[in-house]
């Protein structure tokens, strides 16, 4: 999985830590009873990565 993520990050020119963090966020969201905050958090992540 890690190898594939690395490959995709290079192919689509996205930071590896962004896609890894996004997947981790969704994994945690699965265990939550109500799953509505993920899009907002994703937007924050994208903004944070774009700022830097």
Partner 1 sequence: MGLKLRSIRLKNWKCYQNQEIQFNLNTDKQIWIVFGQNGFGKTSILEAIQWCLYGAKAISDSKLLDHFNRVIVKENPNLEMSVELVFERNGDIYNISRVAKREIQGETARAKVELPVINKNGKNIRDVPEKIEELLPNSCKEFFFFDGVEIKRYAQRIHTKETHRAIERILGITELLNLRHDVKITRKKLDRKFDEVDSVNESLRQVKQKLREIQENIEVKTAQLEGAKLDEKNAIKELEETTEEANKIEELQNKLEQLKDLERNQAISKENLKKATEKLESGLRQAPIPLLIEFVIEVADDMQSTAITTARRSGSVKLLRELLEDQTCVCGRCIDEDSRQFIIKEIESLESGVSSTQEVIRQDEIRNRLETISDYKIPNFQDLLLERDCLQDELETIKLDAYRLKRETKGIDREEAQAIWQTVGEAEQITRQKKEQIERLNKEIEDLKKDEEKQRREIEKLATQDKQTETLAKQAKLARSLYEATDELIEWRTEERKQTIEYRTSKIHRQVTNKPEEYQGIKIQPDYTLGVKNAVGQIIDPETLSAGEKEALAFAFITGLNLASGTAAPLIMDTPFGHLDTRHQKNLITSLPEIPSQVIVLATDRDFPSHLLNIVEPHIAGTLNIRRLGATEDTSVVEEKN
CB of 10 to partner 1, least distance (A): 10
35 counts as binding partner 1 under rule CB under 8 A: yes
- Encoding tokens for residue 45? 């992540």
17 counts as binding partner 1 under rule CB under 8 A: no
Calpha distance 24→31 (Å, rounded): 12
21 counts as binding partner 1 under rule CB under 8 A: no
CB of 40 to partner 1, least distance (A): 8
H/E element holding 3?
Answer: helix 2-12
The DSSP result for 7-19, as a single string, is: HHHHHHT--HHHH
CB of 8 to partner 1, least distance (A): 4
């Amino acid at each position: 999985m890690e190898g594939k993520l690395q490959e995709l990050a290079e192919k689509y020119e996205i930071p590896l830590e962004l896609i890894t963090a996004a997947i981790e966020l969704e994994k945690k969201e699965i265990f939550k009873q109500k799953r509505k905050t993920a899009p907002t958090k994703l937007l924050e992540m994208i903004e944070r990565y774009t700022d830097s």
